[in-house]
Structure 1
Amino acid sequence: MVDRPSRPSAISPTAAGPQPQVDVSDDKVTARLPTGESVEVLLHGATVISWKSGSKGNTENLWLSEAAVLDGSKPVRGGVPVVFPVFGPPPKSGHATSSLPQHGFARNSRWEYLGKSSTESTGDNTSENSIKLDFGLYSSALSDTFRKAWPYDFGVVYSVTLGKDSLQTMMNVRNEGKEGFEFQVLLHTYLRVKDISKCQITGLAGTTYTDKVLDAKDHSSTSPSLSITGEVDRVYKSIKQSTTSVQEDGKSRFDVVRDNLEDTVVWNPWIEKAKGMGDFKPDDGYKNMLCVEVGAVDGWQKLEGGESWEGGQIMKSLL
């Protein structure tokens, strides 16, 4: 288990003003701020399926397929799935993750809700409020199949913090055993946009990216911005800037700020691939989504026994 001496405990109301609220059901945790912002997290995969911000919390920032399966039988198409301990198809042989499914087991496993903590206002300024939800995944809770395929002792704590016009998602990975292991991690975020043809992505210039659509080879990113005009699946590596931004119709829409993560995947399936995915609905949903996925996927992170690693992102809605 991950040592958590400061594990969140139940919150006792200490202020007269409205305070953050958390609702827990058998399959989902929902948090809501007094100003209306909200987040919904499935226990299956610890997948964030909704993040609403803006005036009265009526702006949905994440894209979720109309055909997304939310009953725990398969990974969720949309929201923010957690990719761990391997990104993409695992190495064919010779690596500890070779027997795992694509994108690993975190998004296919049921996580434990560990609790909540909050920053609460003590007066009328409820915009100061934030709420943090912690979720845990441990080797002892894996299915027999996953445990056999990746027999390491580990603990992961995933923290989802909702603030005014922001959502922070952080992963803490700890090696609980004596044998070292390697891993990759990615936060597979599906941002919701109004029109993909009017979007531009900045903050990726001066980097090298692998183009999985073109030839799976490395290319240099020299343009100050990227527009989506067809299928795109690129892995941008060792990015110097901490922030990747999305503009829509010439206006700032999102900032995605990496924390101890150097790589970012940009993905949109476009027309034909969207039609070919049974859980991607509607077929033209590609027009309203853009994946900007922060991660550590170029090479491997390694943890020896007792060591830990932390990384994540802060997403800001700029409407």
Structure 2
Amino acid sequence: MSVEDLGDRVVLTHPDDKSNTATILKYGATVFSWKLNGAEQLWLSDAAKLDGSRPVRGGIPLVFPVFGKNTTDDHLSKLPQHGLARNSTWEFLGQTKSNPPTVQFALSPENANKELTQLWPFDFTLLLTVQLGQDYLKTDIEVQNPSTTQELKFNWLFHTYLKIEDIEGTLVSNLTGVKLYDQLLKQSYIDKHPVITVSDETDLIYQNVDENRLIQVVDRGQPVHTVKRHNLPDAVVWNPWTEKAGGMADFEPKDGYLQMVCIEPGHVHDLVTLAPGQSWSAYQLLYKEQLKYQAI
């Protein structure tokens, strides 16, 4: 079977190569494992909660309708950091394709976290499609505004934790020349470095990144992850490093930051605004690619 519903999670297995799998927890619709040729591609904390008691630390948590902590919108400002999608149990709609195995999940106010929807009283429908290719993983989101009277304003982000061998030998490429906001320095500037290296806590929001830019994670000259984005103009590069990792109870081992880097495609610099009856869609594609250096 290429798709198995195990109650609290769904497992995809590629029919042409059973060493390629993906596992999605229904709580948060979080992909917490993706294996290529039996090798794990996503970082997952050893202390991650997979019982629905809190959002998963690792994998691909889904951020909606707010990124970070909003201070300007009357309703979004009431929500916790990163919103309600990762704090809700999604409905599994089933399999839509057998090869490549493809499944869909849905979230609306009817099945979302009631405590949080009371703080953010808007109508919405989220449709997540997960497709496991023989050499890729695609996560596709559609946001619908079913209301006949209210606008829907939101952020979206795939908070993707990529597994690596050693952050000190790893770099992130193809974001040179792009404007960013450094959340630690609270400053905006153009990144003129040819590559991003991580040697301390890093929290950078790259803005309006050309869709043709392939963000690559490179280990000693070899690309280990390539991230392609559609309709997701922003990209966050994040690593908590020593002090922040030490302060997170669900981050284990405490030196786990050495084996991960977050590359997070999203729409977070500003809000998407949907008029009544409108919809918006975007996707993230994770795969292997040859080294491609792209600059302005």
Q: Per-residue CA shift, 1:172-194, capped at 9, x if unaligned?
A: 00001121120000000000000
Q: Helix, strand or coil: the match of 1:283?
A: coil
Where 1:274 maps in the other structure, the secondary structure is: helix
User: Aligned equivalents of 2:41 and 2:130: distance in 1?
Assistant: 15
Q: Percent identity?
A: 39
Match of 2:67 in 1: 87
- The alpha-carbon deviation at position 255 of structure 1 amounts to 0.7
Within 5 Å, which residues of 2 pair with 1:70-109?
A: 70-91=50-71, 94-109=73-88
Alignment partner, residue 91 of structure 2? 112
Structure-2 separation of matches of 1:44 and 1:288: 25
Q: Alpha-carbon deviations, 1:78-122, whole Å to 9, x = none?
A: 00000000001122x5432111111000000000001112254xx
Distance 2:73 2:88 in 1: 25
CA distance in 2 between counterparts of 1:275 and 1:64 reads: 16
Distance 2:155 2:272 in 1: 6
1:231 pairs with 2:201 = yes
Q: 2:103 & 2:76 partners in 1: Cα distance?
A: 29
Question: Alignment partner of 2:257: what SS?
Answer: helix
Aligned AA (1:226): I
Task: After TM superposition, list the pairs within 5 Å mapping 1:250-265 onto structure 2.
Answer: 250-265=221-236
Hey, what does 1:136 align to over in structure 2? 106
Secondary structure at the residue paired with 1:255? strand
In the aligned structure 1, how far is the partner of 2:110 from the partner of 2:97?
Answer: 29
Partner of 2:125: 155
Deviation at 1:148, TM superposition (A): 1.4
The one-letter amino acid of 1:72's match is G
Structure 1 vs Structure 2 CA RMSD: 1.3
Deviation of residue 223 (structure 1)? 1.6
The answer to which of 267-276 and 100-109 deviates more is 267-276
Q: Structure 2 CA distance, aligned partners of 1:80 and 1:94?
A: 26
Which has the larger Rg?
A: 1
| Contact kept? 2:136, 2:287, Cα under 8 Å | yes
Which of 41, 45, 48 is matched with 2:24 structurally? 41
Name whichever of 235-244 and 259-268 sits farther off. Answer: 235-244
Residues 1-319 of structure 1: pairs in structure 2 closer than 5 A? 21-34=2-15, 35=17, 36-54=19-37, 58-91=38-71, 94-118=73-97, 120=99, 130-178=100-148, 179-213=150-184, 215-240=185-210, 241-318=212-289
Aligned residues of 1:100 and 1:146 also touching (Cα < 8 A): yes
- Gapped regions of structure 2 (runs ≥ 5): 291-296
SS of residue in 2 equivalent to 1:98: helix
* Superposed displacement of residue 318, structure 1: 4.8
| Alignment: residue pair count | 286
Question: Residues of 2 paired with 1:94 and 1:116: CA distance?
Answer: 37
Tell me the residue number matched to 2:294.
none
User: Which 4+ runs in 1 deviate beyond 2 A?
Assistant: 93-96, 117-120
**By how many angstroms is 1:230 displaced?**
1.0
Task: Say if 2:84 and 2:113, in contact at 8 Å, map to a contact too.
Answer: no
Q: CA deviation at 1:201?
A: 0.7
CA displacement, residues 283-303 of structure 1 (integer Å, 9 cap, x when unaligned)? 110000000000000111000
Q: CA deviation at 1:312?
A: 1.6
Name the CA distance, whole Å, in 2 between partners of 1:101 and 1:226: 29
Q: Where does residue 293 of structure 2 map in the other structure? A: none
- 1:286 partner SS: helix
1:310 deviates by: 0.1
- Taking structure 2 as the reference length, what is the TM-score of the superposition? 0.94
Deviation at 1:143, TM superposition (A): 3.2
Cα separation, 2, equivalents of 1:211 and 1:43: 33
Deviation at 1:147, TM superposition (A): 2.1
Distance 2:74 2:178 in 1: 28
